[in-house]
Amino acid sequence: MAQTPYSLLLLKRLSRCSQNPKPPPVLLSLLKPFSTSPTPISSVDPKPSSLSARLSFIFDQIDAIEKERSEKDQTLQKIIPWRESKKSQIDPELGMGVGNQSGYDAHLVDSVSVLTGWERVEKPVVAKQEVEVVHPWPEWIELMERLVQQNYFDHRSVDEDRVVQDIGFDPSEAVFPAEEDARGIDFKDFKAVHTACLSFGKDRFDIIRSLSRQDIQVLVGFGCPSTDKKVVFSSKLLRKHTHLDEGDVCSSCSLRNSCEIAYMITNKEDEARTIDIMRILLTYGFDPVNGSLVNKSLLKQKSVKTVVRKLLHQVVKLSAVPIDPNLPPP
């Protein structure tokens, strides 16, 4: 049988297939070579493993922080009972702790410093200073207590306090040797009380704006309490502040014949300030101590005595409110 061209072509294809037989698909999958290269990232979903790793890291950090806080709390709990026991060991007469005057245990404080980063600062223990004032007016006693509380009886000047504040130290937290504080304050010392009252009046120039003009009129409307030139000048300024006629007041004052500046008026630019109020109140308030009130007839005026005590109370009350730092001085 003669072979046609088509039959020859078919025979050639069959011969090639017999020489390179293809395995079945199942065998192809079994014979697929194993690869040692890592699996491509695109073939695996990374989200579950990545989220789990992040959560695990966060939880580890939280555990570490809580453990550190727990260690700090345990150390502080050890210090609190120790400090309470030290407070109970106080001498009732001196008001000073017995034993270690530094007030701290070195081992415990150092351990806290390591955990919290605090710096160890030692302060000496001082005697507690009590204010004892004998005066018939409770309002005067309140004023003395307030002046002590605000350090106006302190031997340091206000300028020194400001310098200390500029370097970042609070003078109100300062402590001094017990021997110095144990001396106390002599409230019968006119110079000390005078300096404290006038220093307070200079610092709190804002208080006069809150005082009743009617009360100030009663305070200086019946005459000056003494012939001291500064007291008389302050009285004149207060009378001008409250629009009282200087001639009328001087003509009715019992000190007009002994006063060197009676009937004289102040300069136009001079204005009344808180220091003028404090100078008049000081003259009245110190009278039970040294008889500073020369014009005794003024205390016979019930309204004058009432106003003096009222103004003392108001000054103490207003001094409890800090001055506005934006308020310009006069």
Of the candidate ranges 9-18, 64-73, 311-320, the one whose mean pLDDT is the lowest: 9-18
193: enclosing H helix or E strand: helix 190-203
- Rounded-to-5 percentages of helix, strand, coil across the chain: 60, 0, 40
pLDDT at 16: 57
Q: What is the pTM of this model?
A: 0.56
Describe the crossing of helices 302-319 and 213-220 by its angle, rounded to 10 degrees.
130
pLDDT at 126: 38
The whole-number average pLDDT for the span 262-266 is: 93
N- to C-terminal Cα separation, the chain: 138
Query: Average pLDDT, whole number, for the chain?
Result: 75
Task: Say which residue, 22 or 323, is predicted with more confidence.
Answer: 323
Share of the chain above pLDDT 70, in %: 60
Report the candidate in 297, 304, 140 with the shortest Cα–Cα distance to residue 219.
Answer: 304
Six token digits for residue 285: 């308030």
CA distances from 32 to 26, 29, 47, 178, 207 (A): 10, 5, 30, 95, 99
pLDDT tens digits, one per residue of 57-86: 787 888 888 888 888 877 777 777 766 766
pLDDT tens digits, one per residue of 97-128: 434 444 444 444 444 444 444 444 444 433 44
Alpha carbon distance 152, 175 (integer Å):
15
Q: Is residue 260 predicted with pLDDT exceeding 50?
A: yes
Six token digits for residue 80: 């609190």
- Angle ∠(207,318,232) on CA atoms, nearest 5: 40
